[in-house]
């Protein structure tokens, strides 16, 4: 019997369907022809078949998520002399890998957010405003203005905030941004010369670490570059993170800094480009192994989530509000998973 030959068959994976142009299959010596288009037309009516195809199509973020979990669980090494503790006081050990890197082309709709579980994107973006607009370490501002409470576990007692409030996380994050006037300096030098190669946000401040206690910043460095493509200027960003809780915080941190990238791009009327994400120590805690296995079993949701900033080009960085952001086409897999955080 002769081999089956198919001419001009194109697979439109993103739609979960197949289309053929003038396609025919020749079978055996009988030389009977089957109209492949009609055949696939019948198949396309099978909803179950289509759903199975769609479930196999993962976003880039979901693919990277599963690959990282698998690598950590299979190839990761155990932490030693671990600093974090669970709320019951026991040591929070983890399995980890080093040197994790990912690249997302935001201009093509590749956003670093998983569909395998719900991600609290609104709270995550509010934290960016707390750090880079309010430029404070005040827990009162974070709670009263944004209704975000999870930073309370990292409160540093008897250390007032840089705005005079009583409760703070120590001289960290927003306090360091304010101390060095980082955002105003960054915007000024991008305006003076967008192609300069010195657009760096660094929250790693040894002087501040010595001044007070407090969690040293995990996502501590961001760099920005522009590219001209045709008539458009694209803003790229690189986030460097010393440590990251893969299951809980990975997509939260990534999307926070995508939001910051979008705010800066809007300030200048540029387009968003690529987002590069480097994590030095990427880990799964030893009380999360069951959740890791569950995430590996889950089939991704049939959606392509995108973050949109609904303000005109040229909107001042400090005039943008959290509610200006909109996450569209996001329908994550449920139920949500529960995690006991390491502090």
Distance CA 45, CA 40 (A): 9
Tally the C-alpha atoms within 13 A of residue 210's C-alpha that lie toward its C-beta. Answer: 3
Which residues does residue 100 pair with via DSSP β-bridges, in sequence order? 279
Dihedral (Cα; 108, 113, 118, 119), 10-degree rounding: -120
Q: What are phi and psi of 22, to 5 degrees?
A: 60, 40
- Residue 138's SS3 state is strand
Query: Is 218 one of the annotated active-site residues of the chain?
Result: yes
What does the angle CA 335 – CA 337 – CA 343 come to, to the nearest 5 degrees?
155
| Contact present, 296 and 289 (Cβ < 8 Å) | no
Considering the candidates 25, 50, 218, 311, report the single residue annotated as catalytic.
218
Contacts of 15-21 with CB under 8 Å at 24 or more apart are 16/50, 16/53, 16/54, 16/57, 16/302, 17/44, 17/50, 17/53, 18/43, 18/44
Active site residues: 218
């Amino acid at each position: 019997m002769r081999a089956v030959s198919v001419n001009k068959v194109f697979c439109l994976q993103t739609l979960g369907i197949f289309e053929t142009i003038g396609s025919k299959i020749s079978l055996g010596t009988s030389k009977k022809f089957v109209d492949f288009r009609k055949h696939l037309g019948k198949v396309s009516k099978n909803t179950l078949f289509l759903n199975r195809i769609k479930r196999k199509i993962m976003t880039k973020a979901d693919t990277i998520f599963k690959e990282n979990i698998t690598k950590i669980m299979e190839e990761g090494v155990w932490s030693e002399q671990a600093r974090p503790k669970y709320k019951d006081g026991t040591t929070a050990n983890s399995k980890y890998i080093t040197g994790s890197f990912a690249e997302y082309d935001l201009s093509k709709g590749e956003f670093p957010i998983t569909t395998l579980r719900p991600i609290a994107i609104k709270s995550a973006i509010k934290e960016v405003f707390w750090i880079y607009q309010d430029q404070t370490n005040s827990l009162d501002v974070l709670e009263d203005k944004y209704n975000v409470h999870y930073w309370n576990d990292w409160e540093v007692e008897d250390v007032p905030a840089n705005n005079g409030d009583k409760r703070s996380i120590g001289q960290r994050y927003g306090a360091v941004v304010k101390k060095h006037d980082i955002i105003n300096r960054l915007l000024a030098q991008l305006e003076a010369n967008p192609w300069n190669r010195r657009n760096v946000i660094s929250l790693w401040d040894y002087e501040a670490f010595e001044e007070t206690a407090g969690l040293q910043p995990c996502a501590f460095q961001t760099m920005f570059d522009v590219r001209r493509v045709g008539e458009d200027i694209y803003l790229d960003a690189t986030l460097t993170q010393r440590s990251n809780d893969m299951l809980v915080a990975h997509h939260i941190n990534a999307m926070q800094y995508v939001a910051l990238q979008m705010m800066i791009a809007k300030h200048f009327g540029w387009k968003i480009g690529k987002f590069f994400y480097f994590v030095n120590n990427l880990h799964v805690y030893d009380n999360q192994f069951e959740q890791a296995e569950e995430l590996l079993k889950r089939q991704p949701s049939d959606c392509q989530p995108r973050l949109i900033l609904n303000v005109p080009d040229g909107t001042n960085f400090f005039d943008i509000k959290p509610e200006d952001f909109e996450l569209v086409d996001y329908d994550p897999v449920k139920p949500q998973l529960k995690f006991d955080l390491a502090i």
